[in-house]
Structure 1
Amino acid sequence: MKHYQWLVSLLFVTSLLTACVAPAPATQSGEASGESTGESTRTTLRIGASAMTDVLDAQQSFTGFSVDSIQIAQPLFRLDPDTRELIPDLVERWEFAEDGTSLMVTLPGDARFSNGDPLDAQAFKDAWLRYKTISPYNLDLEMVEEIRVIDDQTAEVLFNVPPAASLPVMITAFGAVWNTAVAEEIGDEAFTIAPVAGGPLMVQDFTAGSDLTLVRNPNYQTNLPLVENQGPLHVETVEVRLIQEEVTLAGELETGAIDLAVNAPQSALERWANNPDIQLYDYLEPGYVGIAMNLQHPYFSDLRVRQAIAKAVDREAIVKVLGTTASPPHAFINSAMFAYSSEMDDYARDLHPHDVEAAQALLTEAGWADSDGDGIVELAGEPFMVEFLTSATNTQLHQASQVLQTQLREIGIDLQIVQQDEGFVRDAMSAGDYDIGFDSILWLDPDIFLGVLAGSWRNYPQYDNPEMVEELTAARQIWDPAERTAAYAELQQFWLDEVLEIPLWERRSYVAARSWVQGLHVGPNNRDLYLNDVMIVE
């Protein structure tokens, strides 16, 4: 089994401070990357995905990690899965100023978009300026003060503060060079389903939220040292099918109807681990899934109630139900994120251990009591009954909500599970039109908490603390990794003490491929599939 856990070290940031050039490609071992050992017998790769985006243009999307966007676009850099150093993808050369206030990038002189347009320094500038105006995450590049085009290949980015929070953007499809000229010509709405970029594949046919057909980009080239083939892919077509049902997704892979499954279902992992015809790759995702409570709700505005729920939760029981796709974190920043602190993990673990009696005592202190003996506590005659809003299509969340329902019943809280489609859930929780539900954090940098716990566009807890916003804003600008980790540790302690959310589990995702898929590399980034060396050898 392949293990690519993203444990970001200080080496990542310090390696950015010096001039870097694209190294020669290095061969990966066959065990680590599914090394190709024969001649291709088929040029169409068939992928099954449990979820699909409606928007292929990552600059307009909330999800730039998916198997589609990351194949259409080409990030400036990637992270090496073994050394955790920054490595080139599109760029030939790059250099950050020692204080992080400027970045010089050099692009290949013959780089082209998939439609043949020049992918040059001006295109890079235009793409980043578009991101600043159109992306829902435009704060990621708000520190970009100016982009100077030095020549066709070279651009210099000037930052008004060090861009520590922007580093993840540069290694994902969000910060890739999308063809803004085409976007302007056809309009942003049309560009959402027919974007043009410089990645290994380009769009042939797409049904929003459903199936997608991608074809090989003849102009593609990369400087990735992870792969042998740095030109156009061996496969000519990639068909991505939306298969939401876990049983169906597993069955399609086992029968050979698809070659590869992203987000492989938990229910099939044990038997696939012992199946020589199936290869498994796994990686730890940055972030967590946790409980979000509406702090404007009269029940959850009481810190003692939030503390009681934190102590009533048994993470181990939840993880046992979810299986190998989950493990229990306690702090807000897990080991796959920048600024991770093991000391803060220990603090969080000791702060609210599973303790039903202590949870009941906290509710009693807050004035809640079971006066009629029905097992549900009341306050001023009102029973503690709240709606738990969750997705109707996410199996993990449904399973976890049932476990939580049982656990909170032990302390007299009646959770009524309400399932809706994910868009409804997201909008309702962002607007504060809910009682309690799940929050899902999936990003490399703790800067995400500026939106998650303090922003206006999301902020599920509906928390308002201007002083904390100032501290988060300051932390996102710290270039020194040790200082930045310390700043976020202090913030985490405050979040934990206030029980702003309750992290429950961190996700380990799996990619499963038939053994005839040779040459596949899976990176540490969420769903990063490197198809450069892939051949279908049946």
Structure 2
Amino acid sequence: MKKRRYTSLATIGLSVTLLLAACSSGTSTTGTGTSSAGTNSNPTTAPQAATSGGTLVVAAPIEPDTLDPQITTWLDNSNNQPYDSILSRDLQGKLVPHLAESWQVSDDGKVWTLVMRKDVKFQSGAPMTAESVKASIERFAAISPVKDLAGPIDKIEATDAQTVKVYFKEPFAPFANMLVGTFLAPFDPERLKEKGEKFGEAPLATGPFMNPEVKRGASVTYVKNPDYKWALPFADNQGAAHVDKLVFRFLKDDDTRILEFKKGTVNILQEVPSTYVEELKAIPGTKIETSMEQGMKYLGFNNQKEIFKDVRIKQAIAMAVDREPIVQYALSGFAKPIYGPLPPTIPGYSEKIENMAKEMYGHNVDKAKQLLAEAGYTDSNGDGIADKGGKPLSFELLLSDDPALQRVAQILQSQLKEIGVDIKIAVTDIATVKDRSTKGNHELFLLFFGLNDPDILYLLMQTNNSKRVHYSNPKVDELLAKGRTTMKEEDRMKVYEEAEEILVKDPPWVPLYVSESVTATRNIEGYKMNPFTGDIPFADISITK
């Protein structure tokens, strides 16, 4: 979605602003979903008895704009607590039931049939019905700023009290990914009728926490849903939360967040800067939790620029990059180098493609200089910068004011100078990076992308969607469109592998690394995160002190 534990498409640098960031954090384990039918093996698990209660406090770096998942520009654990997903993924990445007890896809891939559980109730006490599921999906398809992510929906029917049929104009395999997130979560129809587009002010759905109290600029506080008994399939506690309240405090300043954690006023500290990890480890009752993000950081080219139409220039830059110093010195070791178009945390990752990319673009200064010379760029005046016709090989590198990215940029600047490429670092805010890159007013940039489906390549590389790297390749377009309509998982992954091979040979970017997201927890037990969805079952967590 960055569900890194988030679902924000804002971070992938698309023309749309949502889905990636649950679109989520991942581990280094490779996982793939499935488009086949599934059944809930234990839909009536008895809830475990809650412990003593208390208030669980999470320090979150980003405050969402609304609690309505269908109109937000940032979806993560801080604003998805009132909701449940229709499907989920287990801890191995396999697609499994959640609010739907089973699902099936027609042979032609155009009809998805969802059979919903009978025992689920909204927080108001009203039963969840197929009609309410239908209404929520229709609302998303009508009003969401990222409604295209739901695919070419033709119509939706509630054929009985439990059964929903979603009809598509053409097969659309990525719909499984939408069912896993809370974009399509069922809403209480009476509250939706009452609040309309202001539903996010007082949401009612089926989730484990409810009745949010929002203090804009400061926090959001939820109370537990006492009747909850349909938790995520991988949750240990299938019943109501152990804690009475769940509070997300929005603390942007790193020093403030660290100080609050040290004082003991915060139980879970998300997005811990790597430079603080050793210091926090020494605090009694503290555990450090790490997970590989479901995406990667990359050095992007503006492929519309004439100079980047020469593949030798792009390949030379890729060969100049040495990822190990970046990981060790800029990120304190909390990352994994990556060479291919997809990281191991996204379905569609291919070890074959990764090895091919590593073989082609391992650090090789001599080969990089040779490619530049073949393209006509040599250091003719002895100033250390390659030039052609008197024009030096110089680029502006655009990036946000993230301290880690600035350290990465400085290392890249030094490495590219070794092959005679001059880099001028331009630090600005993330909104400016996105705006300039969308308009094509850039040369090189550093950004992140993530999504728990290989359809991310369609959103980033297909000619009409490539709004950051401005890439266009008819064969890639053909394959990425085919990937969307290939319903058999094994066949679908082969399509993406073929597209990835082209993206390695004709690189629109330089993949750099997969970040290792660091979370510090204190005086709690039961914390875990699903690496394939970014979900944290907060109902599992108990306060120990």
Tell me which interval the TM-score lies in, with the shorter structure as reference length: 0.7 to 0.9
Contact 2:458–2:465, Cα closer than 8 Å, also in 1: no
Q: Distance in 2 between matches of 1:438 and 1:429?
A: 10
Q: Distance in 1 between matches of 2:123 and 2:433?
A: 37
Structural mapping, 1:164-179, within 5 Å: 164-179=173-188
Output one character per residue of 1:480-512: Cα deviation in whole Å (capped at 9) or x when no partner: 222212111111111111111111001222222
Residue 485 of structure 1 is matched in structure 2 by: 493
Contact 2:40–2:98, Cα closer than 8 Å, also in 1: no
Q: In the alignment, is residue 46 of structure 1 matched against residue 57 of structure 2?
A: yes
Q: In the alignment, is residue 423 of structure 1 matched against residue 444 of structure 2?
A: no
Q: In the alignment, is residue 343 of structure 1 matched against residue 352 of structure 2?
A: yes
Output one character per residue of 1:364-388: Cα deviation in whole Å (capped at 9) or x when no partner: 2222233333322333333333221
User: Helix, strand or coil for the counterpart of 1:13?
Assistant: coil
User: Helix, strand or coil for the counterpart of 1:499?
Assistant: coil
Residue 32 of structure 1 is matched in structure 2 by: none
Contact 1:18–1:96, Cα closer than 8 Å, also in 2: no
Quote how far apart the aligned CAs of 1:169 are: 1.6
Quote how far apart the aligned CAs of 1:406 are: 1.2
Q: Which amino acid in 2 is paired with 1:489?
A: E
Q: Which amino acid in 2 is paired with 1:438?
A: L
Output one character per residue of 1:39-60: Cα deviation in whole Å (capped at 9) or x when no partner: 42x5211111223332433322
Q: Distance in 2 between matches of 1:428 and 1:195?
A: 36
The sequence identity of aligned pairs, in percent, is 29
Q: Which amino acid in 2 is paired with 1:530?
A: P
Q: In the alignment, is residue 304 of structure 1 matched against residue 318 of structure 2?
A: no
2:78 maps to which of 59, 68, 75:
68
Q: 1:430 to 1:209 in 2, by over 3 A?
A: farther
Q: 1:98 to 1:439 in 2, by over 3 A?
A: same
Quote how far apart the aligned CAs of 1:302 are: 2.3
Quote how far apart the aligned CAs of 1:276 are: 5.2
Residue 522 of structure 1 is matched in structure 2 by: 529
Q: Distance in 2 between matches of 1:178 and 1:283?
A: 31
Q: Distance in 2 between matches of 1:521 and 1:60?
A: 28
Q: Distance in 1 between matches of 2:456 and 2:51?
A: 45
Q: In the alignment, is residue 411 of structure 1 matched against residue 407 of structure 2?
A: no
Quote how far apart the aligned CAs of 1:530 are: 0.4
2:325 maps to which of 293, 317, 323:
317
Contact 2:26–2:534, Cα closer than 8 Å, also in 1: no
Quote how far apart the aligned CAs of 1:421 are: 1.7
Q: In the alignment, is residue 206 of structure 1 matched against residue 214 of structure 2?
A: yes
Quote how far apart the aligned CAs of 1:102 are: 3.4
Contact 1:46–1:239, Cα closer than 8 Å, also in 2: yes
User: Helix, strand or coil for the counterpart of 2:327?
Assistant: helix
Q: Distance in 1 between matches of 2:299 and 2:500?
A: 16
Q: Distance in 1 between matches of 2:54 and 2:106?
A: 44
The two structures have a TM-score, normalised by structure 2, of 0.86
Q: Distance in 2 between matches of 1:228 and 1:496?
A: 42
The two structures have a TM-score, normalised by structure 1, of 0.87
The answer to which of 190-199 and 51-60 deviates more is 190-199
Residue 89 of structure 2 is matched in structure 1 by: 79
Quote how far apart the aligned CAs of 1:129 are: 1.8
Residue 30 of structure 1 is matched in structure 2 by: none
The answer to which of 487-496 and 45-54 deviates more is 45-54
Residue 34 of structure 2 is matched in structure 1 by: 13
Q: Distance in 1 between matches of 2:167 and 2:39?
A: 16
The answer to which of 341-350 and 382-391 deviates more is 382-391
Contact 2:156–2:167, Cα closer than 8 Å, also in 1: yes
Q: 1:203 to 1:399 in 2, by over 3 A?
A: farther
Quote how far apart the aligned CAs of 1:159 are: 3.8
Contact 2:525–2:542, Cα closer than 8 Å, also in 1: yes
The answer to which of 194-203 and 424-433 deviates more is 194-203
Q: In the alignment, is residue 235 of structure 1 matched against residue 243 of structure 2?
A: yes
Q: 1:107 to 1:535 in 2, by over 3 A?
A: same
Q: 1:305 to 1:193 in 2, by over 3 A?
A: farther
Q: Which amino acid in 2 is paired with 1:309?
A: I
Contact 2:394–2:421, Cα closer than 8 Å, also in 1: yes
Quote how far apart the aligned CAs of 1:91 are: 2.5
Output one character per residue of 1:5-50: Cα deviation in whole Å (capped at 9) or x when no partner: 363556x417x334444445499xxxxxxx99x942x521111122
1:59 maps to which of 63, 70, 75:
70
User: Helix, strand or coil for the counterpart of 1:57?
Assistant: coil
Quote how far apart the aligned CAs of 1:175 are: 3.0
Contact 2:400–2:427, Cα closer than 8 Å, also in 1: yes
Count how many residue pairs are aligned between Structure 1 and Structure 2. 520
Quote how far apart the aligned CAs of 1:529 are: 1.1
Quote how far apart the aligned CAs of 1:327 are: 0.5
Quote how far apart the aligned CAs of 1:194 are: 5.1
Quote how far apart the aligned CAs of 1:100 are: 4.5
Q: Distance in 1 between matches of 2:98 and 2:491?
A: 29
Q: Which amino acid in 1 is paired with 2:456?
A: I
Contact 1:49–1:261, Cα closer than 8 Å, also in 2: yes
Q: Distance in 1 between matches of 2:233 and 2:281?
A: 29
User: Helix, strand or coil for the counterpart of 1:324?
Assistant: coil
Q: 1:20 to 1:214 in 2, by over 3 A?
A: closer
1:289 maps to which of 297, 302, 325:
297
User: Helix, strand or coil for the counterpart of 2:420?
Assistant: coil
Q: Distance in 2 between matches of 1:85 and 1:118?
A: 28
User: Helix, strand or coil for the counterpart of 1:164?
Assistant: coil
Q: In the alignment, is residue 511 of structure 1 matched against residue 519 of structure 2?
A: yes
Q: 1:26 to 1:490 in 2, by over 3 A?
A: farther
The answer to which of 504-513 and 217-226 deviates more is 217-226
1:135 maps to which of 117, 138, 144:
144
Q: Distance in 1 between matches of 2:484 and 2:46?
A: 34
Q: In the alignment, is residue 531 of structure 1 matched against residue 542 of structure 2?
A: no
Output one character per residue of 1:228-267: Cα deviation in whole Å (capped at 9) or x when no partner: 5434323232221222333432332233120101222212
Q: Distance in 2 between matches of 1:447 and 1:281?
A: 29
Q: Distance in 1 between matches of 2:201 and 2:416?
A: 43
User: Helix, strand or coil for the counterpart of 1:268?
Assistant: helix
Residue 92 of structure 1 is matched in structure 2 by: 101
Output one character per residue of 1:143-202: Cα deviation in whole Å (capped at 9) or x when no partner: 4333221222222233444442122221122232245765565453x4456544322223
Q: Which amino acid in 1 is paired with 2:287?
A: Q
Q: Distance in 2 between matches of 1:434 and 1:443?
A: 25
Output one character per residue of 1:97-123: Cα deviation in whole Å (capped at 9) or x when no partner: 466543332334353434556532112
Q: Distance in 2 between matches of 1:302 and 1:202?
A: 55
Gaps of 5+ in 2: 1-24
The answer to which of 225-234 and 397-406 deviates more is 225-234
2:484 maps to which of 464, 476, 483:
476
Output one character per residue of 1:508-538: Cα deviation in whole Å (capped at 9) or x when no partner: 2222211x21233322235421011222231
Quote how far apart the aligned CAs of 1:4 are: 7.3
Residue 155 of structure 2 is matched in structure 1 by: 146
Contact 1:7–1:336, Cα closer than 8 Å, also in 2: yes
Contact 1:25–1:226, Cα closer than 8 Å, also in 2: no
Contact 2:89–2:533, Cα closer than 8 Å, also in 1: no
Q: Distance in 1 between matches of 2:478 and 2:68?
A: 32
Q: Distance in 2 between matches of 1:490 and 1:49?
A: 39
Q: Distance in 2 between matches of 1:299 and 1:191?
A: 49
User: Helix, strand or coil for the counterpart of 1:173?
Assistant: coil
2:473 maps to which of 465, 469, 474:
465
Q: Which amino acid in 2 is paired with 1:410?
A: E
The answer to which of 364-373 and 488-497 deviates more is 364-373
